[in-house]
């Protein structure tokens, strides 16, 4: 009897509190319809007040990049707010430089719409599209990596550059969230998008993608990111990756050899053990066709007895140091864990590559 | 019934029985938000306000609802829910009527929900058998005491920015040591009033 009483008291109190909050919200947090002016009148939106700028823009099919799903932890959803929107919040300051703060840059996920707001967003973001696609194939690459190929449904074509990324919509208990993945299919394949996904235990996006089967529908937005490949074929390309950092590298390499069959390109790929190695055979075949393509895989863990590994051992920056001659005009793309990026950046700068020619993505 | 006068309770909860320095409650936000004087002041005001409000509310719920029915054991969970709802309500209220204060307090308002000093004050009020007036006075005093402690430590940390602190002590370590010294200093008030 006392249990029932306790539970009903508990429920009663919670219900009253919830009721008070709902009533309060209705009277206190009501902003009506607010206007958003984008790029000085290029587009004008009318949205319900009270929501965040990021959600309002996504609702209007303007896809601002966001990897964290609006929690203010990735810092990707930067927009310029020209008027309205209140001051910069403490949650944003870690992601903004002083210069950005002075010029009104904000994180769209932290800007709450309470009034009419004038914003500026990069032109290319207005070109980001929402794609619906189906899974064409999935290939298990290693114990924790999968290659997933999407066939585009609507729209049927994507125009992407190597190094750009897509945001896949994944279901979560709090509604759909977007997770960013680099596009690994070469840019000349316009009807498909391929991703390389490493499973993260408990990760929303990677778990969803790893469980997809052939024929399953998916929704993603893209392409995002500016990543300019040097168009001069005399410039050597150096790609250094680890783990799922393979995705942009694969795109870069195949795109390069489609356009410039004789261009020099180095691929340094770091793994722990032979179990983590993938695509090695494919790249070696590509290297036979294009003699200026050099593939170097390195294993960081000590080799077990009787192993027939014929690649490099030790961390990947040691291999890069060993193979690269100094003083050649190069552009470098790095994608991997922060310690790797730091070590490789140091090596590359010693080899005479300008910091402005080194592009990286830490994860 | 506790016979102590309200004024004594307020003064005692600020100085001699400071909820932070003698009970060490609310340490988390105390350490996290004491780097800048302005945020410390904002958080201090918000905590004082919420403490005063929630002790009063929780008093009414405990003595007029939970106790007559005999379900006092629910007090922990109900107090937490009341605190969370109160903070939400205050947030909406401030957002509507004083956007300036809302921006100044920013993320600190929701943070208060999980500040254990708030729950601590409600539980002390029950244990010490305070009356309604005494409870609200205690909540107010505890809030002012907490605010004073965090403002003092923020001032000290600001000054420490210019001192040469050995590397192992930098950051939270030196703050904990200073908090300890400050707590000892506050013990000097101990004989003044008791509650």
DSSP state of B2: -
Nearest to A101 by CA among A116, A113, A89, A84: A89
b/e sequence A117-144, b meaning 16+ C-beta within 10 Å: bbbbbeeeeeebbebebebbebeebeeb
**Burial of B73: CB neighbours in 10 Å, binned 0-12, 13-18, 19+:** exposed
- Of A220, A128, A227, the closest CA to residue A179 belongs to A220
Q: Are residues A74 and A113 in the same domain?
A: yes
Q: Which of A17, A29, A89 sits opposite B82 (nearest CB)?
A: A17
Q: With an 8 Å Cβ cutoff, is B172 touching chain A?
A: no
Chain pair A-B, CB pairs under 8 angstroms: 55
* A90: Cβ contacts below 8 Å, ≥ 6 apart: B39, B106, B107
Question: d(Cα A106, Cα A284) in Å, to the nearest integer?
Answer: 46
Pairing relation of β-strands A145-154 and A129-140? Answer: antiparallel
pLDDT at B106: 66
Q: What is the number of helices (H) and of strands (E) in chain B? A: 10, 0
The count of structural domains within chain B is 1
B194 within a domain of the structure (yes/no): no
Q: Check which CATH number belongs to the domain holding A282 and give it.
A: 3.40.50.80
- Residue A78 is part of which domain span? 33-125
Give the end of a domain, one of A98, A125, A152.
A125
Nearest one of A177, A54, A37, A57 to A115, comparing CA atoms: A37
For residue B70, what are the domain limits?
6-187
The pLDDT profile of chain A, 363 residues, written as one tens digit per residue, is 788 888 998 999 999 999 999 998 888 777 788 888 988 888 888 888 888 898 888 888 888 887 676 777 778 888 999 988 788 887 788 888 889 888 889 999 888 888 889 999 887 788 788 899 999 999 999 988 999 999 998 888 888 888 888 989 888 887 777 888 889 999 898 899 999 999 988 888 899 999 999 999 999 988 887 767 888 888 889 999 887 788 888 999 999 999 888 899 999 999 888 888 889 889 999 999 898 999 999 888 888 877 778 888 888 888 888 888 888 888 999 988 888 888 999 999 988 888 888 888 766
Q: Is the pTM of this model over 0.90?
A: no
Residue A291 CB contacts under 8 Å (≥ 6 apart), including other chains: none
A341, A267: one domain: yes
| DSSP states of A301-327 | SPPPTT----SEES-HHHHHHHHPPTT
d(CA A261, CA A255): 10
Q: What's the pLDDT tens digit per position in B79-132? A: 999 999 999 888 888 777 777 777 766 667 787 888 889 999 999 999 999 999
A138 and A58 co-located in one domain = no
* 3-state SS assignment for residue A134: strand
Query: How many separate helices (H) and strands (E) can be counted in chain A?
Result: 8, 17
pLDDT tens profile B4-54: 888 999 998 998 888 998 888 988 888 877 888 887 888 888 889 899 999
Has the ipTM of the complex gone over 0.85? no
In a domain, A104, yes or no: yes
Pick the last residue of a domain from A202, A224, A246.
Answer: A224
Q: Does B76 touch chain A (CB under 8 A)?
A: no
Task: Read off φ and ψ for residue A275, nearest 5 degrees.
Answer: -65, -25
Interface test with B, best of A17, A20, A111 (most B CBs within 10 A): A17
Does residue A356 share a domain with residue A242? yes
CA distances in angstroms from A87 to A92, B106, B110, listed in the order given: 10, 10, 18
Residue A83 corresponds to which tokens in the numbers above? 């008027």
Which chain A residue shows the shortest CA-CA distance from B80? A14
Phi-psi region of A126 (alpha: psi -120 to 50; beta: other; left: phi over 0): alpha
Comparing alpha-carbon positions, the chain B residue that sits nearest to A26 is B92
Residue A34: phi and psi, rounded to 5, are -115, 155
Query: So what's the pLDDT on residue A32?
Result: 81
Residues A222 and A120: their CA atoms lie apart, in Å, by 19
Q: Look up residue A183 and give its DSSP letter.
A: B
Q: What residues 75-114 of chain A have any CB closer than 8 A to a CB of chain B?
A: 86-87, 89-91, 114
Identify the CATH number of the domain in which residue A94 sits.
3.10.20.30
């Amino acid at each position: 009897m006392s249990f029932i009483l306790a539970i009903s008291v508990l429920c009663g109190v919670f219900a009253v509190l919830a009721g008070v909050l709902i009533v309060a919200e209705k009277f206190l947090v009501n902003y009506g319809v607010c206007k958003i002016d984008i790029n000085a009148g290029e587009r004008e939106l009318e949205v319900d007040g009270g929501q965040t700028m990021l959600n309002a823009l996504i609702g209007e099919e303007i896809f601002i990049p966001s990897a964290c799903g609006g929690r203010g932890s990735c810092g990707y959803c930067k927009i310029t707010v020209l008027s309205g929107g209140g001051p910069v919040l403490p949650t944003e300051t870690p992601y903004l430089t002083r210069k950005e703060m002075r010029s009104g840059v904000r994180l769209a996920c932290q800007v709450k719409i309470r009034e009419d707001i004038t914003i500026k967003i990069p032109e290319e973001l207005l070109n980001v599209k929402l794609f619906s696609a189906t899974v064409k194939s999935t290939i298990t690459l290693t114990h924790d990596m999968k290659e997933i190929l999407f066939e585009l449904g609507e729209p049927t074509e994507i125009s992407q550059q190597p190094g750009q990324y897509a945001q896949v919509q994944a279901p979560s208990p709090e509604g759909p969230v977007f997770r960013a993945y680099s596009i690994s299919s070469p840019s000349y394949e316009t009807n498909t998008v391929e991703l390389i996904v490493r499973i993260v235990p408990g990760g929303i996006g990677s778990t969803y993608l790893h469980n997809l089967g052939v024929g399953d529908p998916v929704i993603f937005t893209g392409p995002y990111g500016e990543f300019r490949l040097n168009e001069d074929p005399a410039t050597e390309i150096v790609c250094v990756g680890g783990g799922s950092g393979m995705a942009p590298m694969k795109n870069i390499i195949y795109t390069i050899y489609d356009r410039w069959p004789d261009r020099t390109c180095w691929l340094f790929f770091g793994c722990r053990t032979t179990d983590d190695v993938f695509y090695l055979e494919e790249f070696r075949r590509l290297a036979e066709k294009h003699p200026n393509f050099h593939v170097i895989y390195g294993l960081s863990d000590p080799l077990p007895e009787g192993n027939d590994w014929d690649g490099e051992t030790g961390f990947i920056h040691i291999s890069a140091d060993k193979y690269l001659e100094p003083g050649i005009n190069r552009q470098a793309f790095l994608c991997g864990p922060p310690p790797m990026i730091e070590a490789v950046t140091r090596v590359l700068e010693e080899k005479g590559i300008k910091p402005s020619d080194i592009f990286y993505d830490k994860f | 019934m506790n016979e102590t006068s309200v004024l004594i309770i307020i003064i005692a909860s600020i100085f001699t029985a400071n909820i932070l320095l003698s009970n060490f409650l609310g340490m988390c936000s105390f350490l996290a938000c004491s780097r800048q004087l302005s945020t410390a002041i904002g958080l201090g005001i918000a905590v004082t306000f919420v403490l005063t409000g929630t002790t009063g509310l929780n008093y009414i719920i405990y003595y007029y609802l939970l106790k007559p029915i005999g379900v006092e054991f629910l007090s922990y969970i109900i107090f937490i829910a009341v605190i969370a709802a109160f903070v939400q309500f205050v947030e909406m209220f401030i957002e509507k009527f004083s956007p300036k204060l809302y921006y100044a307090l920013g993320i600190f308002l929701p943070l208060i929900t999980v500040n254990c000093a708030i729950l601590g004050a409600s539980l002390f009020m029950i244990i010490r058998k305070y009356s309604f007036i005494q409870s609200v006075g205690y909540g107010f005093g505890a809030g002012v005491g907490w605010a004073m402690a965090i403002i003092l430590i923020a001032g000290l940390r600001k000054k420490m920015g210019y001192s040469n602190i050995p590397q192992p002590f930098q950051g939270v370590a030196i703050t904990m040591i200073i908090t300890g010294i400050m707590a000892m200093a506050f013990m000097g008030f101990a004989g003044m009033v008791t509650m």
